[in-house]
Structure 1
Amino acid sequence: MSNKKLVYFIVPIIIVSGIVITINRFLDKFYFYNNEKCIYNDNSKIVSINDNYSYLEKRGINENSNTDINFKFTGMDTIWQVISNNDTEINIKYSSNIESGKFKVVLIDPYNNVINILEQTELGEDTYNIKKGTSRIKIVGSVTTGNLKMDITIREYENGVDIVAINS
């Protein structure tokens, strides 16, 4: 084989190998490793006002009192703000089906206390105390694939409570 043919053969292999190695390192650092290790179990990061997420896929709806989404993601994403003029209660019905990864939904009160609503695959309904101010509901995942359905209801006679969809 002549030197010219050898160069045409080896150079593309080196370039493709370099691209593959670069992509793998990027995914490990910014998608898989960093978020998995740093966010999922760290409430000090979960309570942050700023979200940090990477979606590979997100389909469905997120409205002011219900969500029905399918996703592949890592990180944390605020789906609702609950703004209340007084202490009150909300009722949340939920259904999650997680195919892979770690997943949870949390309620963050105005004082940055974190309450787990659900983790992994769950079906249920619970009532939560909401403090006066702005509370947030976030989904938190680590290389997660699945779906989530949630509905929030407030008491009929309760005034001064707004549920606002974020990132819909």
Structure 2
Amino acid sequence: MRFRKMIYIIIPIIIIEGAIITLNKSLEKFCFGHNKKNIYNNNSKISAANDNFSYIYKKGTNENGKTNICFKFTGMDTIWSIISENDAMISINFSSDIELGTFKVVLIDPNNNITNILEQSQEGTEVYKVKKGNNRIKIVAKEAKGKLKLDITPEKDGLEIDIISTN
């Protein structure tokens, strides 16, 4: 009799636990960013025109060629569109402090070629070629938390380059 009562208690517990595990895996895959987590090393997804991201928080400014933000997010987000009438050079002064996860900033030319600007925590100033047309700067992260500062300026005055914040 006692054995039978134990079976009636244990079997439902096992079934419920199995259902909970299955439900958690399904929700993670379809609702909570499984696809965003797979973006980080996939250049074809990164170079796509659309963005795919989930922010836990994002604070700061992104205007006048300058970015100064604190964030916690997963996915990819276009933060700048750089439209140039001719091939030109831009200077990017950057500083990032990443506490968690993986993070990078990329420059995407009109042909969807990707150049890494920075990865993880980094500081520096670099000069990059922007091609005629619409170039984009995206931040890409996998469960990243940190701070980012960018300052984008054309290398020569008078060039027809528009640096437009996209968010």
Shift of 1:32: 4.8
Which runs of 5 or more structure 1 residues have no equivalent in the other structure? Answer: 1-13
Instruction: Report matched runs for 1:82-101 at 5 Å.
Output: 82-101=82-101
Shift of 1:29: 4.1
Tell me the TM-score normalised to structure 2 length: 0.82
Q: Give the secondary structure class of the aligned counterpart of 1:50.
A: coil
Which runs of 5 or more structure 2 residues have no equivalent in the other structure? Answer: 1-15
Separation (CA, whole Å) in 1 of partners of 2:71 and 2:144? 8
Tell me the TM-score normalised to structure 1 length: 0.82
Separation (CA, whole Å) in 1 of partners of 2:65 and 2:157? 17
The 1:21–1:58 alpha-carbon spacing in structure 2 relative to 1, beyond 3 Å, is farther
Over residues 73-127 of structure 1, what are the superposed CA-to-partner deviations in whole Å (9 max), with x where a residue is unaligned? 0000000000000111000000000011110000000111000000000011100
Q: Give percent identity, aligned residues only.
A: 51
Separation (CA, whole Å) in 1 of partners of 2:61 and 2:22? 36
Which of the pair has more CA radius of gyration?
A: 2
- Number of residue pairs matched? 150
Determine the structure 1 residue equivalent to 2:36: 35
Q: Work out whether residues 89 and 155 of structure 1, in 8 Å CA contact, stay in contact via their aligned partners in 2.
A: yes
Q: Give the secondary structure class of the aligned counterpart of 1:31.
A: coil
Separation (CA, whole Å) in 2 of partners of 1:137 and 1:109? 9
Determine the structure 2 residue equivalent to 1:137: 137
Q: Give the secondary structure class of the aligned counterpart of 1:26.
A: helix
Determine the structure 2 residue equivalent to 1:158: 158
Instruction: Report matched runs for 1:2-81 at 5 Å.
Output: 22=23, 25-37=26-38, 39-81=39-81
TM-align CA RMSD: 2.0
